[in-house]
Amino acid sequence: MDIFIQQLINGVTLGSVYAVVALGYTMVYGIIQLINFAHGEVVMIGAMVAFSVITALAPGGWPPLMVVAAGTIVAIPVCMAIGYGLERIAYRPLRNAPRLAPLISAIGMSIILQHLALLVWSRNFIAFPQIIKSEPYHIGGAIITNVQIAIIATSVAMMAGLALMVYRTRLGTAMRATAQNPQVAGLMGVDINRIIAVTFLIAAALAAVAGVMVGSYYGIAHYQMGSLLGLKAFSAAVLGGIGNLPGAMLGGVLLGVVEALGAGYIGDFTNNWFGSNYQDVFAFIVLIAVLVFRPTGLLGERVGDRT
Amino acid sequence: MNLLEVEGLEVRYGGIRAVKGIDLRVEQGELVCLIGANGAGKSSTLRAIVGITRAAAGSVRYGGAAIAGRPAFELVREGLVMVPEGRGIFHQLTVAENLAMGAFARDDAPAIRRDRERIFALFPRLAERRGQTGGTLSGGEQQMLAIGRALMSRPKLLLLDEPSMGLAPILVAKIFEIVRDVARQGVTILLVEQNARLALEASSRGYVMESGIITLADDAKKLLADPKVREAYLGEGVE
Ligand SMILES: Nc1ncnc2c1ncn2[C@@H]1O[C@H](COP(=O)(O)OP(=O)(O)O)[C@@H](O)[C@H]1O
Ligand SMILES: [Mg+2]
């Protein structure tokens, strides 16, 4: 029982990070039907930039929370600049090209970003300075740490903020209108290029914070960390229904839970043939299962209603 | 004064010339119709005027200024607004949100609210359904929403592309009533229609378009009496 609760806690923690990253995939897809395969790399850059800032400030004797906040505050604009640049350089010129073209360009950008990171931060695993002391709290025979609580709370706050923006503001209404029918949105006075750019900026800002969260959670960062994380978040977005915002949130949390429970029990179920190091496989089992049995995802029924 | 002046307008799709160099004008305060069979090039003409389809040649002047090459979203701010063929309702947005999108280019919140109430007074059906998504409305309600949404932008020149398309006869009459009403309130209208009789009856002048060319241009009354128009567009044989 305590394993179950423990894995649930771990799963929700990681899942809420997946959800935040998955939102970036799904928002961009919703508006231009493009899988931004470089999105995982934006998360990685967020982690790396935060790492550099935190490492630089750690010896200064400032309160740890302030140091992490400073790292995040620097990571956000850097990632936003990258997200904006991706759209302008790699996607916008290809907007009317065959669909494969921007996909290839996305993969190219993700390789470029990885190698830029390699040049700046080396090919080694980088240890995040553990400046925030992990404090465990006991609940029901399991443990939740202050870091986990902070990650879940931050993710929920960001998702709530995003939902408010998308469903309650003029800009958000314009974003949804553009996603449904960009040409008619243009006829309403919406500059769709601006809406698309804003979408990339928001996705990148979320990615930056997600990067800081995974970095702090695992205590480690690496220039290739974005690809696996990105693929998992993408799977989460597909699970929820690509293009669907609540779907990305649900898909992220579900994927995190499936992964954690899978890792927790796979040994028992397979007579220890497989260990918890197989946890990464669950995301892809989920992805394949969704694509085979429910390609529209859990909440997605629409793929657009262009008339 | 001419609010809209089109000269030598040409639209091409690949090698096909859909609009072959046409001239038309709409004076301030007029309701003018452009009629013609399916495929004549009417929608292409409207789309080229607002810039969502590129004109291959010709000039478009709105309020005296050349607007060729300017994006549609900018023209909305200057009062040039199109209701596209098929209505273009945002299916997943509520009625109220669709109307709000119509006012996207404005930022006078109190006036926008007043306009919305006016639209709701004009179309009580929309008021009843303000919280429903656009996709759940009937065809007639969607057309009312499309027109209401366009009015939310406070247009000076309204381009309507086949507002009666696909509607039951009783709704067609209702839509034409609304179009006349909007015109009476001072909005200049260029109306594209296949329902030639109702369009001409509502308009002061009309243009007849055939295979990308304007073949007739005259007062609406004269066109209604024209034997060629009667035979080809009003479903009347001529003895
Ligand atoms: N996007 C397009 N691509 C290619 N051909 C088009 C396109 N839109 C319209 N056409 C063609 O241009 C001609 C005029 O079409 P259109 O302007 O829609 O006419 P109307 O509105 O009078 O029915 C038709 O032959 C139509 O098939
Ligand atoms: Mg047409």
- Write the DSSP symbol of residue B113: H
User: Residue A111: pLDDT above 60?
Assistant: yes
- How crowded is the C-beta side of A6, counted as CA atoms within 13 Å? 11
Q: Which of A41, A81, A76, A37 is nearest to A197 (CA)?
A: A81
Of A170, A187, A302, Cβ closest to residue B84: A187
Helix (H, G, I), strand (E, B) or coil at B89: coil
* CA-closest residue to ligand 1 atom 12: B18
Structure tokens at A130: 């553990």
Contact A186 B71 (CB under 8 A): yes
Does residue A54 lie within any of the structural domains? yes
Does residue A66 lie within any of the structural domains? yes
Cβ atoms of B33 and B206 closer than 8 Å: yes
Q: Give B71's contacts in chain A (Cβ within 8 Å).
A: 186, 191
Task: Give the model confidence (pLDDT) of A158-177 as tens digits.
Answer: 999 999 999 999 999 999 99
Residue B129: CATH number of its domain? 3.40.50.300
The residue-averaged pLDDT of A220-233 equals: 96
Contact A187 B135 (CB under 8 A): no
Instruction: Supply the DSSP string of A65-130, one letter for each residue.
Output: HHHHHHHHHHHHHHHHHHHHHIIIIIIGGGTTS-THHHHHHHHHHHHHHHHHHHHHH-SS-EEPP-
- For residues B80 and B82, give the distance between their C-alpha atoms in angstroms, rounded to a whole number: 7
| Least-confidence region, from A137-141, B26-30, B142-146, B213-217 | A137-141
- For residues A27 and A20, give the distance between their C-alpha atoms in angstroms, rounded to a whole number: 11
Does residue B85 lie within any of the structural domains? yes
- At residue A301, the pLDDT reads 67
- Please indicate if any CB of chain A lies within 8 Å of the CB of B91: yes
User: To which H or E segment does residue A230 belong?
Assistant: helix A225-240
Task: Give the model confidence (pLDDT) of B120-174 as tens digits.
Answer: 999 999 999 999 999 999 999 999 999 999 999 999 999 999 999 999 999 999 9
**Which ligand 1 atom minimizes the distance to the CA of B37?**
22
Q: Residue A263: which pLDDT band, with cuts at 50, 70 and 90? A: confident
- How crowded is the C-beta side of A262, counted as CA atoms within 13 Å? 17
Does residue A24 lie within any of the structural domains? yes
Does residue B63 lie within any of the structural domains? no
Does residue B144 lie within any of the structural domains? yes
The residue-averaged pLDDT of A254-277 equals: 85
Strand partners, B209: B36, B214
| Predicted-complex ipTM score | 0.93
Q: Residue A266: which pLDDT band, with cuts at 50, 70 and 90? A: confident
Does residue A246 lie within any of the structural domains? no
Does residue A45 lie within any of the structural domains? yes
The residue of A31, A171, A184 whose CB has the most chain B CBs within 10 angstroms, and thus the best one to mutate to test that interface, is A184
Q: State whether the Cα torsion A113-A116-A122-A123 is positive or negative.
A: positive
User: Residue A306: pLDDT above 80?
Assistant: no
User: Residue B238: pLDDT above 80?
Assistant: no
- For residues B17 and B128, give the distance between their C-alpha atoms in angstroms, rounded to a whole number: 45
| Least-confidence region, from A1-5, A73-77, A83-87, A182-186 | A1-5
**Which ligand 1 atom minimizes the distance to the CA of B13?**
4
**Interval between CA A287 and ligand 1 midpoint (Å):** 41
Does residue B8 lie within any of the structural domains? no
- Please indicate if any CB of chain A lies within 8 Å of the CB of B82: yes
Does residue A171 lie within any of the structural domains? yes
Q: Which of B22, B60, B3, B32 is nearest to B218 (CA)?
A: B32
The residue of B43, B53, B73 whose CB has the most chain A CBs within 10 angstroms, and thus the best one to mutate to test that interface, is B73
CB-based contacts of B165, cutoff 8 Å, min separation 6: B85, B86, B194
Q: Residue B54: which pLDDT band, with cuts at 50, 70 and 90? A: very high
Q: Tokens 């040994």, residue? A: A267
**Which ligand 1 atom minimizes the distance to the CA of B40?**
22
**Amino acid making up residue A162:** L
Does residue A210 lie within any of the structural domains? yes
- Write the DSSP symbol of residue B137: S
**Interval between CA A180 and ligand 1 midpoint (Å):** 23
Pocket of ligand 1 (CB under 6 A): B 13, 18, 36, 38-44
User: Residue A264: pLDDT above 90?
Assistant: no
Q: What is the mean pLDDT of chain A?
A: 93
Does residue B222 lie within any of the structural domains? yes
**Amino acid making up residue B130:** R
Q: Which of A24, A19, A16 is nearest to A45 (CA)?
A: A24
Q: Give B100's contacts in chain A (Cβ within 8 Å).
A: 170, 173
Cβ atoms of A212 and A75 closer than 8 Å: yes
Task: Give the model confidence (pLDDT) of B76-107 as tens digits.
Answer: 999 999 999 999 999 999 999 999 999 999 99
Contact A174 B101 (CB under 8 A): yes
Does residue A44 lie within any of the structural domains? yes
Q: Give per-residue burial for B137-175: e unless 16+ CB within 10 Å, then b.
A: beebbbbbbbbbbbbbbbbbbbbbbbbbbebeeebbebb
- At residue B12, the pLDDT reads 97
Task: Give the model confidence (pLDDT) of B26-46 as tens digits.
Answer: 999 999 999 999 999 999 999
Instruction: Residue B175: give the domain boundaries.
Output: 30-52+71-233
Contact A184 B84 (CB under 8 A): yes
Q: Which of A68, A110, A91 is nearest to A217 (CA)?
A: A68
Number of domains in chain B: 1
Structure tokens at A252: 């992220």
- At residue A305, the pLDDT reads 41
- For residues B224 and A178, give the distance between their C-alpha atoms in angstroms, rounded to a whole number: 41
Q: State whether the Cα torsion B113-B118-B120-B123 is positive or negative.
A: negative
- Write the DSSP symbol of residue A133: P
- Write the DSSP symbol of residue A60: G
Contact B101 A173 (CB under 8 A): yes
- For residues B217 and B22, give the distance between their C-alpha atoms in angstroms, rounded to a whole number: 11
Task: Return residues 32-51 of B near A (CB < 8 Å).
Answer: 50
Q: Which of B153, B159, B141 is nearest to B99 (CA)?
A: B153
Does residue B17 lie within any of the structural domains? no
Q: Give per-residue burial for B41-55: e unless 16+ CB within 10 Å, then b.
A: bbbbbbbbbbbbbeb
User: Residue A45: pLDDT above 80?
Assistant: yes
Q: Give B73's contacts in chain A (Cβ within 8 Å).
A: 186-192
Number of domains in chain A: 1
Structure tokens at A232: 């998992």
Cβ atoms of B181 and B163 closer than 8 Å: no
- At residue A300, the pLDDT reads 81
Contact A305 B84 (CB under 8 A): no
- For residues A109 and A43, give the distance between their C-alpha atoms in angstroms, rounded to a whole number: 14
Instruction: Residue A121: give the domain boundaries.
Output: 17-225
